[in-house]
Amino acid sequence: MFSYNVFNTLQIKSGFVLLLSIVSLSSHAGVSGNVGVVSDYYARGLDQTGGVTVQGSIDYNHASGFYLGSFASNVKWYDKTGDGVVDSDVEWDIYTGYATKLSDNLGIDAGLYFLNYPNQSKYNTVEAYAGLNYKIARTLPTTLSGKVHFTPDRNAYLPDPKNQDESAWYVTTQADIQLKPDLILSPQVGYAFGDTFDQKRVGGLEEFFNYSLSLTKSFGDGFSAKFSYVGTDLDHHDNKVILGLNKSFSF
């Protein structure tokens, strides 16, 4: 069995291989990307920056259903160690998976997500996920989706990630309601639980719910704007209104 340090190294190398694969495929159809700015970056109801954040992603989608991509963002994790230095200021993630339709309305999606923090690798995590989505064609076309995530070692939530190895689950459900052709309302609820959140034994966070309500407006030429209200039921974690602007493009 690999030790965590060896596995962590393989994880980062795999990320580079996947990113190079994306670049090598960029001349083919199915490659897209986006860049954007948000007033704050919240992930699963938890603040990642405390302020304005610049983000971007690039994705390759094959006709077979296979996909891979990369996401990057500035972050500002606060001083967890007490040495006066911010723990991490860059997040660079790699993901790959398979998505397909089982019927006209029902689809599946499964894959792996590598969360990487280049200047603080102790927080790196690999996460597996699987989900279903179902489209309802009515007066207001709606897509319902649910997804389950699992990681054997959720480092970012642990008080001492170098010396603690604890698993975590995250389940989430969302509805994307098309109010108009260019306007989508998205309520979402998620729940984080597992050994990582055994506060009495591990310390750190308790199990928690997060929730959000987003309104996305699309404009021409790939531009869109998003208004979100996000929060969690954890004490001492503020709910927030977030504004975002995005530009998507194809190669």
With beta carbons less than 8 A apart as the criterion, state whether 192 and 169 touch: yes
Question: How far apart are the C-alpha atoms of 40 and 240, rounded to whole Å?
Answer: 9
Give mean pLDDT, residues 184-197: 96
Q: In the chain, where are the structural domains located?
A: 4-250
Q: What is the pLDDT of residues 31-64, one digit of tens each?
A: 999 999 999 999 999 999 989 999 999 999 999 9
Question: How far apart are the C-alpha atoms of 187 and 26, rounded to whole Å?
Answer: 33
pTM metric for this prediction: 0.85
Give the pLDDT of residue 82.
Answer: 60
Say which residue, 250 or 26, is predicted with more confidence.
250
CATH superfamily of 4-250: monomeric porin ompg (2.40.160.40)
Question: How far apart are the C-alpha atoms of 235 and 98, rounded to whole Å?
Answer: 37
